[in-house]
Amino acid sequence: MAKPKAEKQFKVARSVAEDEFERWTTALGLDHKFDEDFAEPNSLKLLSIHRNVVVRAIMYGHAVVNEKCELVFTPQHSPSKDALTFRRPRGSDYKLMDTANGGASRNMTFLASLTGQNDIVFDQMDMIYDGDFCSSVVALFLG
């Protein structure tokens, strides 16, 4: 017999989390990526997956959009529990990606630059939940 599903304990209502996500994307100028009149359906579908990862983290209280409209995430399953503040990317952040070997190394270099953290934070990060969140933020910036 299957166990009954545990009720999820959200700290923020979905509508509020979605509003916060929209506030963040609008402040950064990312909102155009979600414009159905101009974006390709496949791109929208992919970005929607990453959007939902961020919205879910806001609902659980693991992420917030601060007064400066920066996304702040507190890792839940990683050794470092220090909050990560994702600032607006600059050209130098993207250039750093060229110096990395490629793949995950490029994303981790980008994340370290965006958050001001050292590589070790991301090298030791749990990649199932915390890393998934960070990867989704990168995808929203690069998508």
Is 43 a member of any domain?
Answer: yes
Q: At what angle do helices 130-142 and 41-60 cross, to 10 degrees?
A: 140
pLDDT value at residue 84: 98
What is the number of domains present in the chain?
1
Is 109 a member of any domain?
Answer: yes
Is 124 a member of any domain?
Answer: yes
Mean pLDDT of all residues in the chain? 90
Is 2 a member of any domain?
Answer: no
Is 3 a member of any domain?
Answer: no
Domain span including residue 73: 14-142
pTM value is: 0.88
From the CB of residue 79, how many other CB atoms can be counted at a distance below 10 Å?
Answer: 10
Is 34 a member of any domain?
Answer: yes
Is 1 a member of any domain?
Answer: no
More confident residue, 123 or 143: 123
Is 46 a member of any domain?
Answer: yes
